[in-house]
């Protein structure tokens, strides 16, 4: 006798608290390369712009946009899909997305911050910051991005199991 699976309704996606107006807390899980989220920018993204005076200017503009977007995430004002979206192949993981910037050679650069959320406490617990360079093959980029998202989920789960040790809070300048 043939058995057919009974179709079920698709699960409704849970929107990120980054797009739900209200005060969130943003945390970074410290690692050997980056103790804070600012250190993560310096370690993973900053050097990708180059080393000329023009590169320094472009990097400072991108840094300002990076911090602005994080401030909007803390305030719950990010636009779903465009600025924050769930990762299909990493359940419970979201990415905060930045638009493309240009480096000194006019190559595209972007960043993705992968995180999980504790909805009740309104915590955004980030674990991986990825620099996306436009010179990569799209398939390779997809696998790298998915891998980072899965890793971020595992890192956050381990941190939770360890009693949330290693968290550093990111407080945007406009809230200081």
From first to last of its 176 residues, the chain has per-residue pLDDT tens of: 555 556 555 555 678 999 999 999 999 999 999 999 999 999 999 988 888 888 899 999 999 999 999 999 999 999 999 999 999 889 999 999 998 887 777 678 889 999 999 999 999 999 999 998 766 677 888 889 999 999 999 999 999 999 999 999 999 877 55
H-helix or E-strand spanning residue 146: helix 138-161
Paired with 28 in beta bridges are 126, 168
On whether the CB atoms of residues 47 and 104 are closer than 8 A, the answer is no
pLDDT of residue 102: 78
**pTM of the entire predicted model:** 0.87
């Amino acid at each position: 006798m043939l058995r057919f699976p009974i179709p079920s309704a698709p699960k409704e996606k849970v929107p990120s608290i980054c797009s739900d107006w209200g005060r969130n807390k943003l945390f970074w899980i410290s690692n050997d390369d980056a103790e804070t989220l600012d250190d993560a920018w310096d370690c993973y993204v900053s050097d990708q712009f180059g080393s000329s005076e023009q590169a320094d200017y472009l990097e400072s503009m991108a840094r300002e946009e990076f911090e602005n977007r994080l401030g909007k995430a803390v305030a719950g004002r990010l636009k779903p899909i465009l600025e924050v979206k769930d990762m299909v192949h990493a359940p419970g993981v979201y990415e905060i997305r930045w638009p493309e910037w240009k480096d000194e050679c006019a190559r595209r650069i972007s960043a993705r911050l992968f995180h999980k959320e504790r909805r009740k406490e309104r915590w955004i617990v980030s674990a991986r910051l990825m620099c996306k360079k436009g010179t990569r093959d799209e398939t390779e980029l997809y696998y790298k991005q998915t891998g980072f998202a899965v890793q971020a989920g595992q890192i956050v789960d381990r941190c939770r199991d360890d009693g949330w040790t290693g968290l550093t809070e990111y407080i945007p300048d406009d809230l200081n």
